Structure 1
Amino acid sequence: MTATLPQRHAPVDDRAPAPVHVLMLEDNRLDAQLTAAQLSSSGISVKITRACTRDEFCAALDDHTLDLILADFVLPQFDGITALEIARQTRPELPFIIVSGTLGEELAIETLKRGATDYVLKQRITRLGMAVKRALREADDRRKRLAAEEEMQRARESAERANKAKDQFLAMLSHELRTPLNPVMAAVGVLENSAGLTQETGYLIELIRRNVELQARLIDDLLDLTRIAKGKFELQIEPVDSHAVIERVLEICRTDLGAKNLRIATDLTARRHVVMADAARLHQVLWNLIKNAVKFTPPFGGIAIRTADAENESLALEVVDTGVGIAPANLESIFNPFNQGDDTQYQRMAGLGLGLTIARAIVEAHGGSIIAASDGLNQGSRFTVIMPQAQLPMAPSRPRVAKAERNCTKAAFNSGGLDILLVEDHPDTQQVMIRVLNQFGHRVVTAGSVAEALAITESRTFNLLISDIGLPDGTGVDLMRELNARNRTMPAIALSGYGMDQDVKNSMSVGFAMHLTKPVNIDKLFAAIGKTVVERA
């Protein structure tokens, strides 16, 4: 007795793949049937659209459900090469396989050079199934790759749009935060130059100045962080006297040191204290470090500034304080953005926690390093900066306003004053700037828009233009372009709340001699005016 085993039926797959839609260019019906049969015997389910002529072939290419083209090589008044060229122009994504009984080796190679996916001789039609499967697999891989690339491109474009929107937001935020600070800073300058100030009034004026400058510094830090993140941190490297920079920063911080009765000691023993650096950025690093030391050192404490020659032709610069110290676990994380160490220790301290992040980025951009050290909380801290020393016997750059610029300023203001066109739409800034400039003997005419400024220049000439960038009917850049076109050029300074790198470049590209970012103090404004007028004289 023979037992019959029950048959196991494969489960029905409701998700079976759709038939492969083949465009078959074949004028011989029997060959077309044989080709279809060979595909079926290879396990390929197909839907065939057959074309015999050029017109039928071109019309069939409009069907976007096609997966594959199989083409004979020799057709009446038509050939496989021409079909291939048409297909590659209109449907380059479709695999194209030549199926012919007359294709020689040279012609086969020629078709591949012109973009055919493969070729199969009718004498070896059993290869067709394998060739089709490979072509479909490669086409699928290509589609997936292209889809991934398109998705990546969309993501890149989305990120670029987001970055552009962020930059625009930061530029606008900077402008809106800076603009109200400018009349305050200018008013402080007017008051400082007033006669008969009492000691108490002088103290209050200095208090206002100090806090406006702090607010401006916080805005600058946010913009610097953006530049760092985007890798757009530009440096102007030159020989710089680090000791001169230290003296300048200590001079600026002297009021803060005195307010807390902090002892300051300097031990500047480096013999080669000229470094290769961006003077303004080195000033910023030292300002951040010393301001941090002041902030985190209690009253009657001490701060020491030291320099020494280090290994590998470098300068070691230390800022040491007797302040609250740093927990060992935070010695590295304090350089992270928005980090101020142990929150319970520092949460009462003002600031965004960006100073050290920016300081490290600046130092590392110079090829140097900065490290923090502390014996623990309430044990003080030490920050050590290593910078490359200058190798060339060149005169070092002095920080901030050079003596030559100060002389230019003095000469400009001793010449009977200037006729100045002030283009500013912010009422408070406009009024206080008039007072500042009048106080030093200058004659000021104001305009609140591009159109008003252009109208004024039609009937008057000026020694200097000071213009805001953001104006109701355009920009200061538009104004300069139009003045240039009308041959009404004059020495010009941009004074704006817009202070992104591109804003500065835009201003300089149309002829502004300088771009000052609000709020600007009087000394810096006068230095800019003097330098601009004298250089254009």
Structure 2
Amino acid sequence: MVLTAHALGPLRILLVEDSPEDAELMSEQILDAGLEARFERVESAGELRQALAGFLPDIVLSDLSMPGFSGDEALRIVRESAPDVPFIFVSGTMGEDNAVEALQKGANDYIIKHQPARLPSAVARAVREARSAVERMRVETELMRAQRLESLSLLAAGLSHDLRNILQPLLIMPDLLKARTQDPQLHHLADVIAECGRRGHEMAESMLSFVRGSRKPSEHIRIDDLFQAVALLLRSSVPDAVTLDVQVQDEGLAVDANSTELQQVLLNLALNAIQAMPDGGRLSLVARHDGQREGVDWMRIAVADEGIGMDADTLSHLFNPFFTTKAEGTGLGLMSCKRIVEGAGGSIQVSSQPGQGSCFELHLPMHDRADRSEPVEQLVALGSGQSILVVDGEATRLSLLGNALSSQGYQLQLASDGPAALRWMQQEAMPALVIADAGSRLLPASQLLGEMAALGYRGPALVLEEAHVEMPADDIPQGIQVHVLRKPLQMQQVFRAVAEALA
């Protein structure tokens, strides 16, 4: 009988059979039915184990009883070494009781030798069912990974929000400290606190890469400076047997991105490369101009090692979430790297061969090769007693904003939520300016401003928004001029925004 089912492709069929003649007959029956197959015959436990490891069969066909070896023993070995490989007994001595017992022990089917017509269809069915089971398991595993990733994303979003609120004082207080003293040492300590706060906020933002990708480019980074920082951080991690080679082959290379995140990418790739060279070798970080495409200059950053390399299967799963080849790895590092690079408008590629090392290439748009100078901080005019209503559910930020603006000559009224702010406006005079947090859960800024407009407020409003969130224009009530101030807040930025809104 010629099988009409869809092609299974070339099959590797392992025959556990002591009779060469019987093995040849089974092979002919399978080939005559239209199946494409290669065969290997074994008749001992040792040969079976070697074939399972080297021949990698798609299915095992086994006799029940052989001199010095049994089909039951063969089934046990297959289930221990290759549990997903289907197993069919083909025997002339199998009775009904033996057949039922064989199925209970894990065999997929049984065929009587003197009734071989069912053999090809049984082989085809067993292979299809095994492949379907493997595919179903793969899909279920991917679904579980996706669910874990979604849970991790929600956790990262929540932690990022809380961490940014906790770190916010590190950005507001340094300016307040510097305004109250001329001591240069205290000014230096205030700058250190501000820098720690800024980096902490950037790390919290990086956690959101699992939710919304990397942040938009925010800094102009010279690759020379980036490589120097990475080399400094790697200094304590590079073993004596590994040589670190850092090259920037084209002067003036720069990119608009996030410095902390790019450092994270290069450190991750470099540390992976070091672990891939247990016997030592050369770790190279090389940056060069990569030509121009569609009017944009591109650069290429290569992180290469001389380590153990990776096979094609590993490469195909490399950027999948939770895929890792390390015993204690999380499987999130390379996925995070990919999202950071793509968030900067670039791409990441990898090439590798077992025993020949690996090379990760980052292709990034340069945008502008010229140096940029930092803007000069302008003095902000002091207040003259204007009334400001601040509405913020984060108590620490509310208190700091109140103290900071009071020190600049403004009259402050603080409200921890929208209803409290509305009650104050009904009982007191209208403020000259309203500052409201867009992320308030009880009464969002858009709704709060609408209620204030209904009470007759027509002054300006300063809305505090996250960097990745923007209040829709349709939500802005008529008669109120809305100014936006992005978090995290810095006091000079707040003073300037307040002065501009009141002007």
TM-score by length of 1: 0.46
Higher relative CO (Cα under 8 Å, sequence separation at least 6) belongs to: 1
Please state which structure has a larger fraction of its residues in helix: 1
Greater C-alpha radius of gyration: 1
